[in-house]
């Protein structure tokens, strides 16, 4: 049902007469169509094609009463009309899809973000601030949904409504960088006037049409781009470096589109978030199940809770000889476990060379996929990622030719080397000009777009492949040396992992900091990777630290996360150094 408020003039229609129809198959002669009830146009044999979305006809009013609110309905289906009264045409090209887009225009906002990212080579300072923009839309609860990368490392965020020149301050309620989603709130009551929320729909089928609404580059006004669904499958989320379900469409998603809704019918089918580099008209949207999982976690816990993982690395069992070796019967299907994360609950019950046959009652094929819908298949990791933290699942496993079942509690798992560090300052510790940091992928990204080839190979391999053995474990490296007399001769030892301090193995940067600050020996010794060693006179190194900090205008020898938990010598800071 469409309100005739959308017309340039609102009439109480008594009858209309069909003048023309765009379809060549329509050949009925002009005839009057009576209205039933109070201003409602019912379906009539003289309007057989108006039931189809996108059809356009030309009509005129035979009688016009006083202006009042009315509505037009065609057999339960809304049709587009061009109403003509006394020779003047009032355009009204409206379909149910068009109505949904009109509603979306009152829900979509442009987001202006000022951000400043950390400098991981110089972790005590930030890079220059930059201004970016994206899109977002209203969801129930007076909240704005957008992409995490639109507001990553933000310092200031403003929103602007469609058709308004005013901007409003926004605050970040929750951010999920793995799923590239964020929730914003606005305190201003004025902002919410005339705003409508959009409802979440379902995953569209292949070849279904969607319309992406947002503010892409190339202009300042809102934009609507249409496309069809090409593919639905787990995809690498560029921002969070996570593999989650995504929908591929043939509509162009450009910078600025990010965070805007993809509309199907009158509901949201997903959130635009990335495109395929080097390809034309291949864009991706975040599907509703991922969105709902993110929102539900925030509503239940008040913060982002993450996406669960089994902690397994698996190999397909498509080779018949491989299946025979592991005593799989012809009707059995599953995947071979090659590695188990020591921090996962699965580590307690599963082991290398187990065959996972089913996940929570869903059979797993030899290629690692499960049935999705119709004839579509999807990797079983999707089933895992849609579970809530602390949820228990049943795994059917083949071990040594015997089928067994194990209960596993799912949890989000963090890698040894974090893949992102958005919205937080990097940790660092400086002693005698030696700069110690935990290895992160953002640190490696400082080597440029081709960081995989240009960063230190040993560090890169560890970042991508090593698993943590204990909770809180970090890979601490000597990132660089701020040159001084105290450290001369050690300048070639940068980019090496630190393993021990005075013979004690370290688990993370906090361990290293505590051991150095609490040192009671005459000298401090650092054992590095490749059997390298650094030895410094402790008292001289303490004095040199203050001198080096002052020379490089560094306010503190350590990041705030360390200074809050480690007792620091008050003589080692810029203010007290003379």
Task: Give the β-pairing of 57-61 and 81-85.
Answer: parallel
Q: Which of 21, 149, 177, 239 is catalytic?
A: 149
3-state secondary structure of 307: coil
* CA 119, chain centre distance (Å): 23
Instruction: Write down the H helix ranges in 425-456.
Output: 441-445, 451-454
- Output the CA angle 295-298-299, nearest 5 degrees: 85
**Cβ partners under 8 Å of residue 171, min gap 6:** 157, 184, 185, 186, 187
Nearest to 146 by CA among 182, 105, 114, 180: 182
Rounded Cα distance between 529 and 511, Å, is 17
For residue 259, what are its two tokens? 């965070």
- Per-residue buried b or exposed e for 355-392, using 16+ beta carbons within 10 Å of the residue's own CB: bbbbbeeeebbbebbbebeeeeebbbbbbbbbbeeeee
**Any catalytic annotation for residue 293?**
no
Joined together, the tokens standing for residue 567 give 């007792």
Dihedral-angle region of residue 76 (phi above 0 means left; psi in -120 to 50 means alpha; beta otherwise): left
**Other CB atoms within 10 A of residue 332 CB:** 16
Half-sphere exposure of 170 (CA within 13 A, CB side): 33
Q: Which structure tokens are listed for 16?
A: 């209309």
Dig out the tokens for 457 from the structure. Answer: 């190979």
Asked whether 2 and 102 are in contact (CB, 8 A), the reply is no
List Cα–Cα distances, 385 to 289, 358, 381, in angstroms: 10, 15, 6
423 catalytic, yes or no? no
Closest residue by Cα to residue 17 from 57, 77, 49: 57
Q: Of 349, 320, 347, which is closest to residue 333 (Cα–Cα)? A: 320
- Backbone φ and ψ for 140, nearest 5 degrees, come out as -55, 150
Q: Can you read off the two tokens belonging to residue 123?
A: 């972790």
Per annotation, catalytic residue among 70, 115, 223, 258: 258
Return d(Cα 550, Cα 177) in angstroms, integer.
36
Q: Which of 153, 180, 354, 527 is catalytic?
A: 180
Both tokens assigned to 452: 């995989």
| β-bridge pairing 209-214 and 261-264 | antiparallel
For 220, which DSSP code? S
- 């963090």: which residue's tokens? 414
State the alpha helices, DSSP H only, in 120-203: 148-151, 189-192
**Of 366, 378, 136, the residue nearest 245 (C-alpha):** 378
Active site residue 258: yes
- Rounded Cα–Cα distance for residues 564 and 562 (Å): 5
**Distances 265 to 133, 286, 415 between C-alpha atoms, Å:** 27, 17, 40
- Give the three-class secondary structure for 319: coil
Active site residues: 149, 180, 258
């Amino acid at each position: 049902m469409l309100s005739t408020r959308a017309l340039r003039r609102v009439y109480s229609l008594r009858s209309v007469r069909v003048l023309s129809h765009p379809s060549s198959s329509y050949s009925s002669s002009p005839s009057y169509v009576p209205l039933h009830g109070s201003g409602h146009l019912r379906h009539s044999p003289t309007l057989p094609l108006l039931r189809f979305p996108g059809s356009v006809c030309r009509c005129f009013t035979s009688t016009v009463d006083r202006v009042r609110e009315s509505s037009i309905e065609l057999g339960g289906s809304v049709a587009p009309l061009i109403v003509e009264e006394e020779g003047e045409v009032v355009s009204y090209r409206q379909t149910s899809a068009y109505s949904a887009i009109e509603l979306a225009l009152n829900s979509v906002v442009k987001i202006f973000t000022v951000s400043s990212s950390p400098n991981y080579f110089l972790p005590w300072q930030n890079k220059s601030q930059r201004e970016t923009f994206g899109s977002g839309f209203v969801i129930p609860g007076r909240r704005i949904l957008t992409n995490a990368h639109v507001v990553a490392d933000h310092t200031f965020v403003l929103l602007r409504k469609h058709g308004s020149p005013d901007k409003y301050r926004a605050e970040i309620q929750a951010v999920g960088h793995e799923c590239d989603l964020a929730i914003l709130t606005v305190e201003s009551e004025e902002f919410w006037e005339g705003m409508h929320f959009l409802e979440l729909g379902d995953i569209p089928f292949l070849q279904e049409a969607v319309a992406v609404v947002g503010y892409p580059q190339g202009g300042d006004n809102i934009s609507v781009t249409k496309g069809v669904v090409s593919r639905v499958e787990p995809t690498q989320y560029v921002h969070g470096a996570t593999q989650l379900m995504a929908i591929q469409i043939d509509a162009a998603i450009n910078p600025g589109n990010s965070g805007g809704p993809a509309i199907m019918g009158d509901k949201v089918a997903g959130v635009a978030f990335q495109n395929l580099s080097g390809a034309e008209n291949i864009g991706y949207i975040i599907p509703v199940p991922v969105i709902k999982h993110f929102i539900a976690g925030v509503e239940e816990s008040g913060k982002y809770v993450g996406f669960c993982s089994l902690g397994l690395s698996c190999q397909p069992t498509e080779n018949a000889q491989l299946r025979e070796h592991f005593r799989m019967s012809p009707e059995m299907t599953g995947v071979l476990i090659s590695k188990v994360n020591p921090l996962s609950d699965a580590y307690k019950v599963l082991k290398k060379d187990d065959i996972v046959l089913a996940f929570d009652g869903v059979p797993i094929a030899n290629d690692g996929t499960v049935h999705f819908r119709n004839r579509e298949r999807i990797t079983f990791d999707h089933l895992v990622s849609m579970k809530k933290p602390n949820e228990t699942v049943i795994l059917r496993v083949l071990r040594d030719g015997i089928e067994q079942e194990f209960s596993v509690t799912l949890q989000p798992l963090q890698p040894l080397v974090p893949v992102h560090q958005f919205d937080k300052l990097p940790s660092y510790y400086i002693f005698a000009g030696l700069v110690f940091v935990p290895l992160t992928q953002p640190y490696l990204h400082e080597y440029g777009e081709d960081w995989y080839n240009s960063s230190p190979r040993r560090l890169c391999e560890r970042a991508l492949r090593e698993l943590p053995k204990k909770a809180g474990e970090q890979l601490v490296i000597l990132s660089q040396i701020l040159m001084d007399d105290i450290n001369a001769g050690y300048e070639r030892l940068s980019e090496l992992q630190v393993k021990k301090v005075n013979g004690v193995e370290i688990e993370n940067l906090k361990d290293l900091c505590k051991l150095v600050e609490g040192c009671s020996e005459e000298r401090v010794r650092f054992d590095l990777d490749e059997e390298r060693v650094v030895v410094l006179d402790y008292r001289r190194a303490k004095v040199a630290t203050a001198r080096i900090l002052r020379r490089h205008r560094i306010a503190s020898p350590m990041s705030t996360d360390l200074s809050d938990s480690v007792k620091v010598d008050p003589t080692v800071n810029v203010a007290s150094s003379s």
